[in-house]
């Protein structure tokens, strides 16, 4: 059987995890890695095709866009125009539907598939929320994140003058509310209290319970673990108090990379177009044929 030829664009945390997931998938082959820096190649990529442009790779079926989220729209469009299917983990919730619609017409025109927001949230959590709504059409769903690092909040703290490095941890308080634990490593000569005040007044933090601590080294706190708990109490028909919950405790980039790789499989199976994960038959994410998976899982 012909293997799915996958390229990885970007080699940060998620790109590295995606590479491991591709190499662990017997139905895929890694065509190459596209990155800006092709001079200094990390040791583990010595036997790998590392290139500066996707044009240097041949017969790519699917490109995994492991790039910063804001670069996704432009890069996905450019790849789809070459007829290369894409998978991304675009995570700005308010922009997902319009990104999907923009990429839809490009993908259809070029006979390619684009799977957008294929991470765990948005992504597999979205599938869980969708399924929970199908089981209980009325009710409230709470998505409680953490403990785990919030990249958005961390970046907001790092942007403050006097901050050498920072980490913002998200702690779940239940019912969709979160505490922020902020760890700050200061540059020489800056006042902690002034920095702390700026953090507390920042839009990212001022609506949440926030605790700021000064530490000597943020690097020593590094941990890519994350968790989520999706809870719904809802109504099936006219029957109340149907209780549903989905919980994960995971290595964040490893899960994101794996979801993207599983979606690469769907990308070669679906009709041309752009899809979010709730639009994909779940069995399309798995290796093997449909009947084999029905026998094993249904």
Residues that bind a copy of itself (CB under 8 A): 17-21, 23-25, 93, 96-97, 100-101, 117, 120, 122, 124, 126-131, 133-137, 235-239, 241-251, 254-255, 257-259, 261-262, 276-283, 285-287, 290-291, 293-295, 297-298
Contact 112, 86 (CB under 8 A): yes
Q: Is 129 or 153 the residue whose CB approaches a copy of itself more closely?
A: 129
The length of the chain in residues reads 298
In the complex, least distance from residue 73 CB atom to a copy of itself, rounded to whole angstroms: 16
Q: Is 95 or 162 the residue whose CB approaches a copy of itself more closely?
A: 95
In the complex, least distance from residue 256 CB atom to a copy of itself, rounded to whole angstroms: 9
| In the block, residue with structure tokens 């902020």 | 182
Q: Can you tell me the distance from the alpha carbon of 188 to that of 93, in angstroms, rounded to the nearest whole number?
A: 37
In the complex, least distance from residue 77 CB atom to a copy of itself, rounded to whole angstroms: 19
Q: Is 20 or 198 the residue whose CB approaches a copy of itself more closely?
A: 20
Q: Is 141 or 198 the residue whose CB approaches a copy of itself more closely?
A: 141
Q: Is 115 or 156 the residue whose CB approaches a copy of itself more closely?
A: 115
Tokens of 194: 């002034």
In the complex, least distance from residue 81 CB atom to a copy of itself, rounded to whole angstroms: 23
In the complex, least distance from residue 133 CB atom to a copy of itself, rounded to whole angstroms: 6
Tokens of 141: 């769903």
Q: Can you tell me the distance from the alpha carbon of 135 to that of 270, in angstroms, rounded to the nearest whole number?
A: 26
Residue 234, φ and ψ in degrees, nearest 5: -145, -170
In the complex, least distance from residue 100 CB atom to a copy of itself, rounded to whole angstroms: 7
Contact 20, 257 (CB under 8 A): yes
Q: Is 136 or 210 the residue whose CB approaches a copy of itself more closely?
A: 136
Contact 121, 170 (CB under 8 A): no
**Cis before 147? omega within 30:** yes
Contact 117, 90 (CB under 8 A): yes
């Amino acid at each position: 059987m012909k293997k799915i030829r996958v390229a990885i664009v970007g080699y940060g945390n998620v790109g590295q995890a995606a590479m491991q997931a591709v190499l662990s998938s017997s139905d895929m082959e890694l065509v190459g890695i596209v990155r800006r820096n092709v001079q200094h190649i990390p040791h583990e990529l010595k036997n790998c095709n590392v290139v500066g442009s996707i044009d240097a790779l041949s017969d790519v079926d699917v490109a995994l866009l492991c790039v910063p989220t804001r670069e996704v729209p432009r890069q996905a469009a450019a790849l789809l125009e070459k007829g290369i299917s894409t998978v991304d983990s675009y995570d700005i919730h308010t922009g997902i539907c319009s990104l999907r619609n923009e990429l839809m017409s490009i993908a259809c025109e070029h006979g390619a598939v684009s799977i957008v927001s294929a991470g765990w949230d948005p992504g597999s959590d979205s599938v869980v929320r969708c399924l929970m709504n199908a089981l209980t059409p009325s009710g409230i769903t709470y998505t409680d994140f953490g403990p785990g690092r919030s990249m958005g909040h961390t970046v907001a703290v790092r942007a403050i003058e006097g901050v050498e490095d920072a980490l913002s941890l998200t702690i779940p308080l239940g019912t969709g509310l979160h505490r922020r634990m902020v760890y700050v490593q200061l540059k020489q000569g800056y006042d902690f209290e002034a920095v702390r005040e700026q953090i507390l007044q920042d839009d990212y933090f001022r609506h949440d319970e926030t605790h700021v601590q000064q530490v000597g080294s943020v690097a020593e706190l590094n941990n890519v673990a994350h968790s989520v708990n999706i809870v719904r109490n809802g109504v099936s028909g006219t029957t109340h108090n149907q209780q549903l919950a989905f919980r994960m405790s995971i290595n964040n980039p490893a899960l994101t990379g794996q979801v993207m790789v599983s979606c690469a499989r769907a990308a070669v199976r679906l009709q041309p177009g752009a899809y979010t994960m709730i639009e994909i038959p779940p069995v399309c994410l798995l290796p093997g044929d449909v009947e084999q998976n029905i026998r094993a899982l249904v």
